[in-house]
Amino acid sequence: MKILVADGISAQGADIMKAAGLEVVIQKYSPEELVQNIVNYDAILVRSATKVTKEVIDAGKNLKAIARGGVGLDNIDVAYAKEKGIPVLNTPGASSISVAELAIGHMFAVSRFLNLSNTEMRQGKWPKKEYSKGMELTGKTLGLIGIGNIGKEVAKRALGLSMKVIAHDPWVKETGMDVKLVSKEEVLKNSDFISLHIPFIKTEGPSITANEFAKMKDGVVLINCARGGVVKETDLLDALNSGKVKYAGFDVFENEPPTEAQAALINHPRVSVSPHIGAQTDEAQDRVGTEIAEKLVATLKK
């Protein structure tokens, strides 16, 4: 069977598929080329770049599986694939540690002005006085909206930093940790830091808008390493400018790469940004490649 690897895979993952007798083709197609060529493959493996649309699925007459190396499935028409009887595979836990560590990293960055002082010192400045009012994470309340695989890893690290952790997740009844499960309103009202670990559902729109910001503590810190679109960025900018949100750390954005319209947020002095690199560590990529390859082999060998 022939597998199209559209967005790359670790060497370990490719070797697992080849050892199972699968023909692995690593090839990047444009959307139009993908529709034209997908008929030649028995399965497609993507990351976040390639979109597996209804048109692609219809053209893939021989598709027996669609695999996503990562957590989110928003670039795959999952409902239509299931309607066609094509299994959709992903790796929900493989990158959890890497994303969690980045979320904590953004908390440290904004609390100690690392994003700003690093740049200014490279310009020959010595902004010791300007950045003398840092903030400790110890003793602060971290509110998690979403405590699945990634949220739990964030919670473990926050507890290790002696933070108090509360969380809201309608799908979780027990965490096995010293984390209090509360309503979303309680998370918004009582948290010093809020970290988001929820999907973006296009039909529902942003989960954090002006309405949610109004319920937050004055001076809250907001971290989003989940999905672009979860936060309404224009409302966040207003909240930053009013002081409602003291700092923000973002790895994901409504448009990626961000457009000129997002420049005010990207360049805001109280925002730490990174270019959607939550899962981009060597360790996570090895786990993602290995796990998705094993799942794909198991599915195709049934």
Are 167 and 142 contacting, i.e. CB atoms less than 8 angstroms apart? no
For residue 126, what are its two tokens?
């010595």
Residues with catalytic annotation?
227, 256, 276
Of the candidates 260, 256, 262, the one whose C-alpha atom is nearest the C-alpha of residue 236 is 262
Give the strand pairing for 141-145 and 193-196: parallel
Treating both helix axes as pointing N-terminal to C-terminal, what angle do 282-300 and 11-19 enclose, rounded to 10 degrees?
20
Beta strand extents in the chain (DSSP E only) = 2-5, 23-26, 43-46, 65-68, 88-90, 141-145, 164-168, 179-181, 193-196, 220-224, 245-250, 271-273
Q: Given strand 88-90, what is the order of strands in its sheet? A: 23-26, 2-5, 43-46, 65-68, 88-90
Residue 19 class from Cβ within 10 Å (0-12 exposed, 13-18 middle, 19+ buried)?
A: exposed
Are 22 and 13 contacting, i.e. CB atoms less than 8 angstroms apart? no
Q: Given strand 179-181, what is the order of strands in its sheet? A: 179-181, 164-168, 141-145, 193-196, 220-224, 245-250, 271-273
Q: Which residue has the tokens 């999907």?
A: 199
Are 86 and 66 contacting, i.e. CB atoms less than 8 angstroms apart? yes
Are 173 and 154 contacting, i.e. CB atoms less than 8 angstroms apart? no
* Cα 93 from Cα 83, distance rounded (Å): 26
